[in-house]
Amino acid sequence: MTYCVGLKLNDGLVMLSDTRTNAGMDNISRYRKMFTWEAPGDRAICLMTAGSLSITQGIITRLEKAIHKSSDEGSECILNADSTFRVAQLVGDAMREMQERHRDQLGASGLSSDASVIVSGQRRGGQARLFMVYSAGNFIEATDDTPFLQIGEHKYGKPILDRVMRPDLPIGDALKAAFVSMDSTLRSNLSVGMPLDLAVIRAGEYRFAVQRRIEADDEEFNRISSGWSDALRGAFSQVPEVAITR
Amino acid sequence: MTYCVGLKLNDGLVMLSDTRTNAGMDNISRYRKMFTWEAPGDRAICLMTAGSLSITQGIITRLEKAIHKSSDEGSECILNADSTFRVAQLVGDAMREMQERHRDQLGASGLSSDASVIVSGQRRGGQARLFMVYSAGNFIEATDDTPFLQIGEHKYGKPILDRVMRPDLPIGDALKAAFVSMDSTLRSNLSVGMPLDLAVIRAGEYRFAVQRRIEADDEEFNRISSGWSDALRGAFSQVPEVAITR
């Protein structure tokens, strides 16, 4: 399985993904699910993928091919598209192409071709934006009312986001929210696993402020994880006891 | 959908269920999912159901019929079965009967006959026990390692149970854990809804210590719910801030 979460803040974008992929419980592998492109000073784009690995790898390959083609022919690609919205459309087109190619055959074998992609980024002159592209190639955008998007195993990590995520959260707090949401998911679902990939884009910057892999022994993440466990147990004991009445 | 949770403690059993049933988002009804039988001084039995309502209502009807038949003929039923384990077997038998009757036709209409039942109770001379009966009529029992069982929309409410549930929790704390777990689910999934049904059996007692409906305006539940929201936000702010490093 997979868990990827993207947060959209007034101060920028936070993206966090795991790296575990499994075909059954006995066939677990590690695959990067976060893909980034940076043209410093012009744009930073981050994709996170969930669902059928053959489909999502195909999408990334198509986007990469278009970038190479564009450097020869000046054709459109995610690195020269005139908006982040247009980038999401290009990802949607690649999704549709992959689905058309494989859906029927996968379906005939009883397999799902479902996939989804979180597209985030910022280009010079534009806003930081966060989209989710569905299997059909259509997409939605995160708004102030719901300033986060999740793909994959999203349920365990949603309650904390429902309670603390607001667009006016500082980036540091948003990182904490993403870590806590991921930590809850890691604990409750074995098919989501370390290491993690993290990327941050600040509002008005056209490069990644943070882009790094978080390994299982990462001190920062483990400090948040154990700090959250302690704080949660503290919070629980702090809630008034229930009086037992018949 | 549905959320039901059963907790098994050294001090007894706590059972909590919601009452919302839906066939699509536009067809929401209220159905009791908790069913209790009490023979004070001899036994207390509590069932909670999830999944296909036609299947689970059929199971309850079969168990009730067997009770009526038993009072005439002295035949076996859940009120005279010689162990709570045997009660779970009788529930499993009723499940199998219902599945055999309806599964093929439901499947032909593209509908699922899946259902599950949490069976809990205590009879004179026995221990408090907690079982989960699956669609196939087989079942598992809660143990000290995993002292809780959930059916229905279980994911949102699982992280808190994973962290705080231990068999040595006092009943008051276990009630709090059940309330908090339910509250997280209510907030994140519209198809789980108030009112709730609550039942408590204390170790060594053969009756319900608590058995009541919790309405949407219940002061105790709302105190826990808002107390938990506050405590959770407090816990979140208490976790050390994440340093942003590239």
CA A85, A86, A89, A93: dihedral to nearest 10 degrees?
Answer: -160
With CA atoms as reference, the chain B residue closest to A227 would be: B239
Chain B contact set for A223 (CB, 8 A):
240
Look at residue A245 and tell me if it is in a domain: no
Of B209, B236, B246, the CB nearest to A180: B236
Provide the pLDDT for residue B217: 93
Which residue carries 């149970």 as its tokens?
B161
Look at residue B245 and tell me if it is in a domain: no
* B245 pLDDT more than 70: no
Provide the pLDDT for residue A94: 98
CA distance A77 to A82: 10
More confident residue, B149 or B26: B149
DSSP SS3 for A172: helix
Provide the pLDDT for residue B33: 95
Look at residue B179 and tell me if it is in a domain: yes
DSSP SS3 for A102: helix
Which residue carries 């002295």 as its tokens?
B74
Look at residue B241 and tell me if it is in a domain: no
The whole-angstrom distance between A27's CA and the closest CA on chain B is 23
Report how far Cα A105 is from the mean position of its chain's Cα atoms.
28
CA distance B228 to B112: 36
Look at residue A28 and tell me if it is in a domain: yes
* B26 pLDDT more than 90: no
Provide the pLDDT for residue B223: 92
Please judge whether A245 and B210 are an interchain contact, meaning their C-beta atoms are less than 8 angstroms apart: yes
CA–CA–CA angle A233, A239, A241 (5° rounding) = 110
Of A188, A208, A235, the CB nearest to B232: A235
CA distance A43 to A58: 23
With CA atoms as reference, the chain A residue closest to B183 would be: A159
Per-residue pLDDT tens digits for A149-205: 999 999 999 989 998 999 999 999 999 999 999 999 998 888 888 999 999 999 999
Is the Cβ–Cβ distance between A232 and A224 less than 8 Å? no
With cut-offs at 50, 70 and 90, classify the pLDDT of residue B27. confident
Please judge whether B236 and A175 are an interchain contact, meaning their C-beta atoms are less than 8 angstroms apart: no
Of A208, A220, A242, the CB nearest to B224: A242
Total count of domains within chain B: 1
Look at residue A148 and tell me if it is in a domain: yes
Question: How many contacts (CB atoms, under 8 Å) link A and B?
Answer: 137
Per-residue pLDDT tens digits for B131-171: 999 999 999 999 999 999 999 999 999 989 998 999 999 99
* B243 pLDDT more than 80: no
Domain extent for A53: 3-235
Query: The domain spanning residue B21 has which CATH number?
Result: 3.60.20.10
Chain B contact set for A220 (CB, 8 A):
242-243
Provide the pLDDT for residue B188: 86
CA distance A99 to A115: 9
- Cα torsion angle, B36, B39, B40, B42, sign: negative
Provide the pLDDT for residue A233: 87
Per-residue pLDDT tens digits for A59-77: 999 999 999 999 999 999 9
CA–CA–CA angle B26, A50, A78 (5° rounding) = 110
Amino acid B173 reads: D
Provide the pLDDT for residue B246: 56
Please judge whether B160 and A236 are an interchain contact, meaning their C-beta atoms are less than 8 angstroms apart: yes
CA distance B208 to B202: 7
Provide the pLDDT for residue A246: 56
With cut-offs at 50, 70 and 90, classify the pLDDT of residue A245. low
Mean pLDDT of B20-43: 87
Please judge whether A241 and B188 are an interchain contact, meaning their C-beta atoms are less than 8 angstroms apart: no
With cut-offs at 50, 70 and 90, classify the pLDDT of residue A232. confident
Look at residue B243 and tell me if it is in a domain: no
With cut-offs at 50, 70 and 90, classify the pLDDT of residue B241. confident
Please judge whether A236 and B212 are an interchain contact, meaning their C-beta atoms are less than 8 angstroms apart: no
Provide the pLDDT for residue B136: 96
Of B158, B211, B246, the CB nearest to A188: B158
With cut-offs at 50, 70 and 90, classify the pLDDT of residue B233. confident
Q: What is the mean pLDDT of chain A?
A: 93
Look at residue B246 and tell me if it is in a domain: no
* A9 pLDDT more than 60: yes
* A26 pLDDT more than 80: no
Distances (CA, A) of A237 to A188, A232, B185: 21, 9, 20
Amino acid A53 reads: L
Please judge whether B228 and A208 are an interchain contact, meaning their C-beta atoms are less than 8 angstroms apart: no
